[in-house]
Structure 1
Amino acid sequence: MTFPERFSHLPEYAFPRLRRLLDAHAPGGDVIQMTIGEPRHPFPRWILDEIASHADGFGKYPPNEGTPALLAAIAAWLQRRYGVTVDPATDVTVLNGTREGLFNAAIALCPETVRGRKPVILTPNPFYQVYAVAALTLGAEAVYVPATTETGHLPDYAALPAEILDRVAIAFLCSPANPQGAVADGAYWRRLIALAEKHDFRIFADECYSEVYRDDPPPGALQVARAMGADPERVVIFHSLSKRSNLPGLRSGFAAGGPRSIAAIRQLRAYAGAPLPLPLQHAAERVWADEAHVDESRTLYRRKYAIAQDVFAGHPQIEVPDAGFFLWLPVEDGEAAALKLWRQTGVRVLPGAYLSRDVDGVNPGHGYIRVAMVAEEEEMQRGLTAIRDCLYHTRDT
């Protein structure tokens, strides 16, 4: 039995590649994991009581789209956070985290043809791998647009030829960006939404890092689209409790957008989705309603930003981002740097090329490593100091 040919082009997932690169070599010190973006801050412990008090719900089939109470809690959060009013009955659907949502939403909303031709799906490069997999699954043409220092680490979709833009069905945009931490400001969103209006495509705004920031909260795509008076179906946003509330294992997220978009996503999930168990929906309802634990976690991240700035002071080529919890550190060769770091210090980081795609022989992640700032502060400081001393000590400062 063979797989469809298009799946032969799937990029290998980053972490098996990393294990193949590093695991044949002994670590050069105590192992410090700085590869995966798994939040390690405390989650609100009262969630355990919330799940236990609704445990009888494990004996019932949960609604795919979410309970009315959970949908209302999400709508209330969108109003508090962005000043956006949505109808929880028609404009929101619950997801099993953003990865599942981004993938299934593409299946639900990407047409078979655009103006009679093969559809295009735009993705930043570097990118979250599910964007590319969604395009390949659909048989669409994935167009990888560099998000580099020159473009502010966000893709310049407007620079694409009109022939491509006229075939676009979906444009993915992650803000704050993974891995660079770049934030799409209001002006960026307005330009992208205007481009989507002109060429009639949807924007999938992956905003799962929206609550991890230093100073100002990042604007939201739906917030800007509403202020512009754009087509209500133009933007679909995706959020989860994984980063916001340090609950990646809860698998609770949502999509919000125009009623036709949400109806299509709900219809597909009725057949192919895995609904969130009722006790977890009750817990998520309370978590979306609480901001105290989010503020506490953000305070910890601000201290980590400060640690990173202190460790890399005097290295002007290193930028500490305004949001997210990754450092995107420039090196000559990401694989060589990751291997050297592992063998000499025991610090484990991810080569940037593993998050990017070669286009015309150029991989925009080749000269970077991604470092996750998720560990406890003392361990993180040791890891960053080891990175500095191993990879940057000979550089001019």
Structure 2
Amino acid sequence: MNPDLDRLQPYPFQKLAALKQGITPPAHLSPIPLSIGEPAHAPPEIALQALQASLAGLGRYPMTRGGLELRQAIRNWAVRRFQLPSASLDPERQVLPVNGTREALFALAQCVVDRTRSNPLVMMPNPFYQIYEGAALLAGARPFFMNLEADQGFLPNLDAISEDQWQDCQLLYICNPGNPSGTVMDEAFMQRLLTLAHAHDFIIAADECYSEIHFTDTAPPPGMLGAAVRAGYTDFERVVVFHSLSKRSNLPGLRSGFVAGDARLLEHFHQYRTYHGCAMAPPAQAASIAAWNDESHVQENRRLYTRKFDAVLPILNGVLEVQRPDAGFYLWAHTPVDDDTFARELFAREHVTVLPGSYLSRSTATGNPGQGRVRMALVAPLEDCIAAAHRIRRYLE
């Protein structure tokens, strides 16, 4: 067996299941899960109709690169969304559909990390999406954790990273808007990362899967593609971005997203994926085209999440240290006791499941930045989110 498999840690939800084991919550209270970020709003009807109308496409092998119509739809959406020049993003060379960004975020590291170089580092936020860590380990690299602390606005402290560490970095994962904090990087911060990438020859993998869940249509979260263009990097060298229909369009089961950016990098990534056998099924492509071409369902999705935050936060005010995020559907709450005790007792007393923050992060020389926090995903129906907030308040009081 690949010995690097032994370096993988249990997934957060495995730890959560172990934490809850042996506990019998009150039978008269219905379970309310706030632990998993699985969208529960209705998928857009136009995507479902396109999927059903294209089932005959299952009778042929799809291309790894996807159909041109899909790549053009993705390209047109990205140009509109991030205010790119009209000639940006060649759909033939700079756009690659993927079967959900999870597999692509993992596979990128296997493609780009040179394990023959001494001390290859893959940098990532801490807390983080655990796929980043697993990708680094199985690529033969060492994960380097950039702690995200409240006093830094839940952004990495770039000045705390040494020149030698930047020099060893081969791949940098960022998550913007952040999971779990919901913090949004501005373009100036992203352009500073771009300067570092060009100075030290590493690749930026920008996970932007929560970018379409925000609370103001007048100032949506910026993206790395726009930051690169406005910094003069019009060819997106050393940059790839990841977007998904899972959160934006409530289509997690479709497994549809895309990678876009550096043409030279995507050429190699396409070759890797061809061997890996990662082609998107034609019906999924048809549904994806319909979803990327429509914004009305995305606006309705944002309205539903905004209602949840507007309802839940006043209930929690005064009993729990928590703020509205810049974007995304998570609350990143500071707990009055250690996070696993909070999660265990809340489940035992109120039948509400939240995820301990320490399960999403790693201990470093300066501590575990997830300790003393819990992540709560407001994906349940509005009435359940309100009920959960009242139960949390009752537990705390």
1:116-265 equivalence runs, <5 A = 116-215=117-216, 216-230=219-233, 232-265=236-269
> How far 1:64 sits from its partner (Å)?
0.8
* C-alpha separation in 1, matches of 2:72 and 2:333: 41
2:355 match: 350
2:30 counterpart of 1:30 = yes
> How far 1:148 sits from its partner (Å)?
1.2
Task: Work out whether residues 214 and 305 of structure 1, in 8 Å CA contact, stay in contact via their aligned partners in 2.
Answer: no
Moved more, 294-303 or 189-198: 189-198
> How far 1:360 sits from its partner (Å)?
2.9
* C-alpha separation in 2, matches of 1:258 and 1:367: 39
Task: Work out whether residues 308 and 320 of structure 1, in 8 Å CA contact, stay in contact via their aligned partners in 2.
Answer: no
* C-alpha separation in 2, matches of 1:273 and 1:357: 33
Say which of 378, 390, 394 aligns to 1:373.
378
- AA matched with 1:72: Q
* C-alpha separation in 2, matches of 1:181 and 1:143: 21
1:334-345 equivalence runs, <5 A = 334-345=339-350
* C-alpha separation in 1, matches of 2:2 and 2:271: 25
* C-alpha separation in 2, matches of 1:264 and 1:385: 51
1:106 match: 109
- AA matched with 2:3: E
* C-alpha separation in 1, matches of 2:194 and 2:177: 17
> How far 1:117 sits from its partner (Å)?
2.1
Task: Work out whether residues 46 and 291 of structure 2, in 8 Å CA contact, stay in contact via their aligned partners in 1.
Answer: no
2:283 match: 279
CA-atom RMSD in angstroms: 1.4
- AA matched with 1:350: L
* C-alpha separation in 2, matches of 1:234 and 1:227: 15
2:75 match: 75
* C-alpha separation in 2, matches of 1:235 and 1:94: 16
Deviations 1:337-357 (A, max 9, x none): 000100110001111111111
2:308 match: 304
Deviations 1:333-385 (A, max 9, x none): 11100001001100011111111111137221111111010011111011122
1:13 match: 11
Task: Work out whether residues 158 and 195 of structure 1, in 8 Å CA contact, stay in contact via their aligned partners in 2.
Answer: no
Equivalent residues, number: 388
Moved more, 358-367 or 195-204: 358-367
- AA matched with 1:311: I
Deviations 1:21-78 (A, max 9, x none): 1131011332111110010111112322212221110010011111000000000001
Deviations 1:63-117 (A, max 9, x none): 111100000000000111012221000000010111111111111122234xx42
TM-score scaled by structure 2? 0.95
Say which of 91, 94, 99 aligns to 1:96.
99
Task: Work out whether residues 320 and 334 of structure 2, in 8 Å CA contact, stay in contact via their aligned partners in 1.
Answer: no
> How far 1:222 sits from its partner (Å)?
1.1
> How far 1:8 sits from its partner (Å)?
2.0
TM-score scaled by structure 1? 0.95
Say which of 355, 358, 364 aligns to 1:359.
364
- AA matched with 2:137: L
1:64 match: 64
5+ long unaligned stretches in structure 2:
none
* C-alpha separation in 2, matches of 1:261 and 1:102: 14
2:45 match: 45
* C-alpha separation in 1, matches of 2:278 and 2:198: 33
* C-alpha separation in 2, matches of 1:250 and 1:81: 22
Task: Work out whether residues 126 and 362 of structure 2, in 8 Å CA contact, stay in contact via their aligned partners in 1.
Answer: yes
Task: Work out whether residues 184 and 219 of structure 1, in 8 Å CA contact, stay in contact via their aligned partners in 2.
Answer: yes
* C-alpha separation in 2, matches of 1:246 and 1:52: 17
> How far 1:316 sits from its partner (Å)?
7.6
* C-alpha separation in 2, matches of 1:386 and 1:145: 34
- AA matched with 1:144: F
